[in-house]
Structure 1
């Protein structure tokens, strides 16, 4: 199911545009979040379906999307999807992917030359793909005027000095070579660690676990808040129990700790939680419930 669209909202003084390239049933629920048993999905079917789970196929519903922020007169992209024509032998669903990401982005009012900053929350295939585009026999930055903010720990982990993530996957090497290495060659990349302030409204923070450099982007403006959490969350069942990791988390214990920390702050400070791949509205509100959390109701 393809649902190309762009939706807009405002958080304080910052415009937020959700650019959806694809949305639909994706991974088997039990494979995506292995520790969340079948009963977790069935017991919560009344609100998980249809936006987050397709009971008929027992597959998690997910979106391939980018968040565009207009802040302080600049245009910032949060993650850049899969990219077209990539070698992804370890990820068949993304292998030689062909989508209309740039077309959807342009219809939302954003041309490549308009982008000032690209944030990669982490270096996975579906978050860095449109960092670059094919030109001749090589790859060049898609957004020619942008600086690309990449977590230093991920660059070290997936880069050649660490044999592309310790040699876990051939796809790691392809991802780095076509979507990150060209940024180094063109001098467009900024590596950061810990905390990195983009402007008065936007701050990046390390939240390791999913990958060594996984990050969240905090938005605070005019008393309103949001946190873009990347792949700390793939499904709302991880909000119900933050110990549930996705099958893609490289450090499960670290990911769980980061997830709980981010959710605690979101609940206490009424931050909108904006994961990379949620279906439905793409946004969640989180409230504390006992030692865990529940989803709040958006007003």
Structure 2
């Protein structure tokens, strides 16, 4: 995905795995092969991999640069992690920091780290392994997390799947111990033109990031939608949505508010676009 200019805010995607493949029925329980065939013409090749029959998701983060401040949103899977449910996300060796450098930034350049939600593919590079010890990847950054989201992870690491315990211990706790973790409200102003807004459902404390500058607007939606087919079928949730009814409501309300507006949508797992109405549902315009 190319860089995007939102007024004075420069948006740079930083990809970790641009073609992560997911079994459709295993990921979106309501999907059928008949629907896939009906939608293949626009899904291939970016959103559907014909040889495998799998959906394509892009694991990526974003850098927002404004007024000399460098803000990093969502830090992907990370290297050397263990205990993840998805086998390919264990013991990773992704060149993500090299791609961040290609975008123009060393870890020391990052001022703020944001996280839409604390899942293993959005907070992995919060830390990296150094001499056998997990340390914050971005030594000069404040790591901002919505209070409700941290509370949800605290619950899940005890009562949820084992990967949440691993995520907390290898990616979140090192930041807390270093004194770099800051809990904020879900409407927190990060910088001029950069503000959090609540978008719960996928997780309890899930937030989006609204960008406004020079009359231009964008919103980074994290995992409110994992795949663009969810605009056509707003009631579809992934298997990893915590509150299914809230996730549906949040998604539908966002699509209704955004349809036909000059607002660039920055999804967590596919390319940027704008929402347009399509019958009684919606679709993304990627032009």
Q: TM-score range by the shorter chain?
A: over 0.9
Is residue 257 from structure 1 mapped to residue 252 from structure 2 by the alignment?
no
Once the two structures are superposed, what CA deviation does each residue of 1:46-102 show, in whole Å capped at 9, x if it has no partner? 111111011332101111211111012101111001111011242212011111111
In the alignment, is the contact (CA less than 8 A) between 1:14 and 1:71 conserved in 2? yes
Is residue 288 from structure 1 mapped to residue 283 from structure 2 by the alignment?
no
2:204 corresponding residue in structure 1: 212
Is residue 76 from structure 1 mapped to residue 74 from structure 2 by the alignment?
no
In 2, the alpha carbon distance for the partners of 1:121 and 1:205 equals 10
TM-score scaled by length of structure 1:
0.91
Give the drift of 1:132. Answer: 0.8
In the alignment, is the contact (CA less than 8 A) between 1:72 and 1:199 conserved in 2? no
TM-score scaled by length of structure 2:
0.95
Give the drift of 1:176. Answer: 0.8
In 1, the alpha carbon distance for the partners of 2:84 and 2:263 equals 38
Task: Give the SS at the match of 1:250.
Answer: coil
In the alignment, is the contact (CA less than 8 A) between 1:193 and 1:206 conserved in 2? no
RMSD of equivalent CA atoms: 1.5
Give the drift of 1:167. Answer: 2.2
1:246 corresponding residue in structure 2: 238
In 2, the alpha carbon distance for the partners of 1:12 and 1:181 equals 36
Determine which of 223, 227, 230 is the counterpart of 1:235: 227
Is residue 99 from structure 1 mapped to residue 94 from structure 2 by the alignment?
yes
How many residue pairs were aligned? 287
Which is worse superposed, 187-196 or 94-103?
187-196
Task: Give the SS at the match of 1:7.
Answer: coil
In 1, the alpha carbon distance for the partners of 2:249 and 2:210 equals 18
1:42 corresponding residue in structure 2: 37
Once the two structures are superposed, what CA deviation does each residue of 1:4-51 show, in whole Å capped at 9, x if it has no partner? xx7322111111111112222510112211112222221111111111
Determine which of 8, 13, 19 is the counterpart of 1:24: 19
Determine which of 172, 178, 183 is the counterpart of 1:186: 178
Gaps of 5+ in 1: 1-5
Give the drift of 1:297. Answer: 5.2
Task: Give the SS at the match of 1:248.
Answer: coil
In 1, the alpha carbon distance for the partners of 2:283 and 2:17 equals 27
Is residue 270 from structure 1 mapped to residue 262 from structure 2 by the alignment?
yes
1:203 corresponding residue in structure 2: 195
Gaps of 5+ in 2: none
